[in-house]
Chains A and B, each alone.
Chain A
Amino acid sequence: MKKRFILAITLSILTTACSAYAQSGRVEPAPTHNMHMMMVADSNPDTAKAVKTSDITISNFTFAPVKISVPVGTKVTWTNKDDTPHRVMVIETKAKSAALDSDASFSTTFDTPGTYHYFCTMHPMMKGAIEVTAAK
């Protein structure tokens, strides 16, 4: 819990221009927030350990696992293993990846419990869901 508290402070310092993480209510991470998040994870080994992660693979025009349940604060990463691009968009947060070429990844962190739905904006038949559970 202490590490997560430190992470939260670090984040709020790094994202002072963006109030989303400082608020406890609705969180709408934009790409700039994600950049901050990755900076924290990459540049500070101590706080990086506190970041929970979950991976989703894109293969054969399918997200796998197609449904996940993760604790609040989890950084979810999608990696494209197809030889054609896909583009992930989370409907509720509007977090949107670039067009992911083969082996490219996109990450976004879910800081509010709830059920999130995402899809590929290029191939909208491709859908998935993420259940974000409250911290115990």
Chain B
Amino acid sequence: MDLEVSRRKVMECMAWGPGVVWALVAGIPTAFSMDALGDDSAGAAVSSFSFAQISDSHIGFDKAANPDSSGTFRDGLAILKNSVVKPSFLIHTGDITHLSKAEQFDTAAQMVRESGFETHYVPGEHDMVDEDNGKLYMDRYGKGTKGAGWYSFNDHGVHFIGLVNVVDLKAGGMGNLGQAQLDWLKNDLSVLSASTPIVVFAHIPLWTVYEQWGWGTQDSGEALSYLKRFGSVTVLNGHIHQVFQKVEGNVSFHTARATGFAQPAPGTAPAPGPMVVPAGQLKNYLGVTTVSVTPNQPRLLINDATLA
């Protein structure tokens, strides 16, 4: 299946999906180095599949920008569950809860359970503000992880890495990975061949989207330097509640919409934070993301669907 066929298939989903509007990430430069991925045997290890990203559910948020964050999270899960090509699993890129309360974690977990999706998590800064600084998150999702909750796993020949850039933040700074995590990452990648497709996911963008609002990670450059030798790297983030993308060499950066509430575009408001949108428009601002992996296709196909 080549990229064009995939796109056509996705376009068909418009007709069959439950009111899903597919905003295709098309037209991004597709130049990449084939020498890293030219090896047939390595490509054969990767099989076609798709997974989904859901982000910033902010369960517990009930203010004007979205009085029903639980309802919109459920809507997001339902869109993924009912999509024509059902994702193999979900990645939740953090801010599961709004205030790290036990009942908020419970509500989110219950809805994910009902959706039936296996789900991999990384925390957002809103998930680590219980009085024990993240204990509730770690009790629930920290099993088998290192440090503040980072980990990696393999699926369908793709190496997935969940990073945590929301703890131990430094005054005046942005997101932070820290030396221990960087050391772990370097080691984790060291055993992989350059042809292994890599998906890195973390809450705060691993590229600087807008420094004035802290929308970036201060030591992400070091992490990205370890990824340079790989032929296919996809970086998936949340936090900013809107879609942004950038391609740099073999690395595709992408941020997802939230299901919790909208946030202003960079610099269009005095500050980030929940944005009240015109009545009836909220679901145009919220959404979920699906990612399709195709063997020998270094650029993964990323689709952003709104909840509308």
Residues of A within 8 A of B (CB): 60-62, 82-85, 87, 91, 98-99, 101-102, 117-119, 121-125, 127
Residues of B within 8 A of A (CB): 63-65, 98-100, 125-126, 129, 131, 169-174, 212-214, 270-274
**Residues of B with C-beta under 8 A to A123:** 125, 214
**Residues of A with C-beta under 8 A to B131:** 98
Complex A-B: 14 CB contacts under 8 Å: A60-B273, A61-B272, A83-B64, A85-B129, A87-B129, A91-B171, A99-B99, A99-B100, A99-B129, A117-B171, A121-B169, A124-B169, A124-B170, A125-B212
B125 touches A122 (CB 8 A): yes
**Residues of B with C-beta under 8 A to A98:** 129, 131
Complex Cα spacing A123 to B125, Å: 9
B270 touches A85 (CB 8 A): no
Complex Cα spacing A125 to B173, Å: 6
Taking the closest CB of chain B, its distance from the CB of A97, in whole angstroms, is 10
**Residues of A with C-beta under 8 A to B126:** 85, 99, 122
B271 touches A60 (CB 8 A): yes
Q: B interface, by DSSP: helix, strand, loop or mixed?
A: loop
Q: A interface, by DSSP: helix, strand, loop or mixed?
A: loop
Query: Beyond A83-B273, A85-B98, is A125–B213 a contact (Cβ under 8 Å)?
Result: yes
Complex Cα spacing A1 to B64, Å: 48
Residue ID in chain A nearest B215 by CB atoms: A125
Residue ID in chain B nearest A87 by CB atoms: B129
B129 touches A119 (CB 8 A): no
Complex Cα spacing A119 to B63, Å: 25
B169 touches A61 (CB 8 A): no
Complex Cα spacing A127 to B99, Å: 21
Partner of B65, one of A60, A61, A83, A118: A83
**Residues of A with C-beta under 8 A to B273:** 60-61, 82-84
**Residues of A with C-beta under 8 A to B270:** 60
Query: Beyond A83-B64, A101-B99, is A127–B172 a contact (Cβ under 8 Å)?
Result: yes
Q: Knowing that A61-B213, A124-B171 are A-B contacts, what are 17 other residue pairs whose CB atoms are under 8 Å apart, sorted by A's residue number? A: A82-B271, A83-B65, A85-B98, A85-B99, A99-B99, A99-B100, A99-B129, A101-B99, A117-B171, A119-B172, A121-B125, A122-B125, A122-B169, A123-B125, A125-B212, A125-B213, A125-B214
**Residues of B with C-beta under 8 A to A127:** 171-172
Complex Cα spacing A85 to B213, Å: 15
**Residues of A with C-beta under 8 A to B212:** 125
Complex Cα spacing A108 to B114, Å: 44
**Residues of B with C-beta under 8 A to A87:** 129
Taking the closest CB of chain B, its distance from the CB of A114, in whole angstroms, is 17
